[in-house]
Amino acid sequence: MTRTLLPDPEALTIDQQQGWACALCGARLYEDRLIGTVSMPTGYPERTEEVDLWACSPECQPRAGAQGGAS
């Protein structure tokens, strides 16, 4: 399985965080694939929320600023 580079979760748009847009390229999702889960700050000290990140299927080209992560 290919390792997918995950973007900085705090740099994602609301649509990307909620799975409406690709977390890698920002395109609207019609067919998707799960690329990983990240921890997002909630606004409360020391609390985070686990968020699934979705990407285009078949694979798209990631935008600049992607960081290492697991698929």
What is the extent of the structural domain holding 22?
15-61
Strand, coil or helix: 27: coil
Residue 10 is assigned to a structural domain of this protein = no
Q: Is the pLDDT of residue 71 over 70?
A: no
Residue 21 is assigned to a structural domain of this protein = yes
pLDDT digits (tens, 9 = 90+) for 4-59: 788 998 899 999 999 999 999 999 999 999 999 999 888 888 899 999 999 999 88
> What pLDDT does 51 receive?
94
Residue tagged 């909630």 (tokens):
42
Asked whether the beta carbons of 12 and 23 are under 8 A apart, the reply is yes
* Domain count across the chain: 1
- Whole-model pTM: value is 0.75
Average pLDDT over residues 64-71: 47
> What pLDDT does 19 receive?
95
